[in-house]
Amino acid sequence: MEILKKKIQEAVNLFKDGNLAKSEKITLELIETNPKIPFLYNLLGMILSAQNRIDEAIASYNKGIKIDPNYAMIFNNLALIYYNKSLKDQNFESNIKKAEDLYKASLKLNPKIPEANSNLGNLYNLIGKIDESEKYQKLAISAEPKYFYAYLNIAHLYISIGNFTEARKNLTEAIKQNPNFSYAHRELSRITKYT
């Protein structure tokens, strides 16, 4: 079991470092010997998605769901694929609906996942449901106050409605949580008036 954990961690680290080919190879080897671990299908889905191999990623996520239909994070990651498809104008309404349903399925299984809350908030911001968007971004922050992406996402929402005071406050908090978060620094500089 300890060897398995080390191999999984190696695959995860390679994925985080951007070595997708090697991460994929190790993950496939792990799936071959451990076909009932849903985390591996989730990881493979993320690796494939990062390589823009979307159909393969969807298939991997769906295999993971068949093994464990209660694994909340896999629903979030599958939803993200459909959300991203909608941004490319691929069957916008259909993909938005699929993404929304999958995010909700993820949150039904585990309402404390900050990523799923924040991602659902982004979806609602995209389709103009401002109150719902704000609600889910705040749920993401309350679930994990150190999840700096939620502060950025709620700041985008506030920028879109012209509430720059709240946007600045949340961008500042994102930077406090991750001082190297260059995107938040850039967004904050865009809405700050300099003399």
Q: pLDDT band at 13, cuts 50/70/90? A: very high
CB 10 within 8 A of CB 27: no
149-176: pLDDT as tens digits = 999 999 999 999 999 999 999 999 999 9
DSSP state of 184: H
Using the predicted structure, report yes or no on whether residue 70 has a pLDDT greater than 90: yes
Nearest-Å Rg of the Cα atoms of the chain is 18
pLDDT at 195: 81
pLDDT value at 28 more than 80: yes
Residue that has been written with the tokens 């997708």 in this structure = 20
Please give the full DSSP string across 56-67, using - where no structure is assigned: HHHHHHHHHHHH
With beta carbons less than 8 A apart as the criterion, state whether 46 and 14 touch: no
User: Token pair 């406090």 is at which residue?
Assistant: 176
pLDDT tops 80 at residue 128? yes
CA 93 from chain centre, in angstroms, equals 20
**pTM for this structure?**
0.92
According to the model, what pLDDT value does residue 94 have?
A: 95
Cβ 15 vs Cβ 23: under 8 Å: yes
DSSP classification of residue 90:
S
Give dist(CA 192, CA 176) in Å, integer.
17
According to the model, what pLDDT value does residue 178 have? 96
* pLDDT of the residue at 194: 84
pLDDT value of residue 89: 76
